Amino acid sequence: MSGLARVAIVAEARRWIGTPYRHQASLIHVGCDCLGLVRGVWRALVGPEPEEAPPYSPDWAEAQGVEALALAANRHFARVEQDAFCAGDVLLFRFRDHAPAKHLGIATSATHMVHAHGGACVAEAPIGSWCRKLAGAFAFPDVTD
């Protein structure tokens, strides 16, 4: 296996731009949330999802108080230094200090990411103020530079 090129990850993430936000969904051009975006990119480039995402409510992280996304990311992705993420890496964010991380994006550069969030379609946006909320960065399996 030759590995997964970062340019392919970025290109696939960008294909999702314009997909409407739909909680728990992961279908390109139909609907997705932030986890659904990452799941869809995984399916397109890596293959079948390694585990099924359980049903979750919008407040699941706060209600459970568990770092579920971080734990899953550590199981299926390679952790990278937060200050050294590259295009194609999955970024994990927390909305508030001391709250579980519950938002994901896919870096398209050191300054931009593709992500899905409530009330908007999937978009490529500046990372900007999100940097201070960064809780982790992860590379897809067998990624090449």
Tell me: the pLDDT tens digits for 64-120? 677 888 999 999 999 999 999 999 999 999 988 888 898 999 999 999 999 998 889
Query: Which pLDDT belongs to residue 97?
Result: 84
Q: What is the pLDDT of residue 42?
A: 98
Q: What is the DSSP string of 53-82?
A: PPP--TTHHHHH-S-HHHHHHHHHSEEE-G
pLDDT of res. 91:
98
Q: Using one digit for the tens of pLDDT, what is the confidence trace for 28-69?
A: 999 999 999 999 999 999 999 999 888 777 676 566 677 888
Domain with residue 69: its CATH number is 3.90.1720.10
Beta strands in the chain (DSSP E): 4-5, 26-27, 31-32, 78-80, 90-93, 103-107, 112-115, 123-126, 134-139, 143-144
Task: Give the pLDDT score at 87.
Answer: 98
Is the model's pLDDT at 122 over the cut of 60?
yes
Q: Which residues of 55-91 are buried (b: 16+ CB within 10 A; e: fewer)?
A: ebeeeebeeeeebbbbebbeebbeebeeeebbbbbbb
Structural domain containing residue 103: 4-144
Q: What pLDDT sits at residue 64?
A: 67
pLDDT band, residue 17 (cuts 50/70/90): very high
pLDDT confidence of residue 56: 76
Q: How many domains does the chain have?
A: 1
* Residue 11: per-residue pLDDT: 98
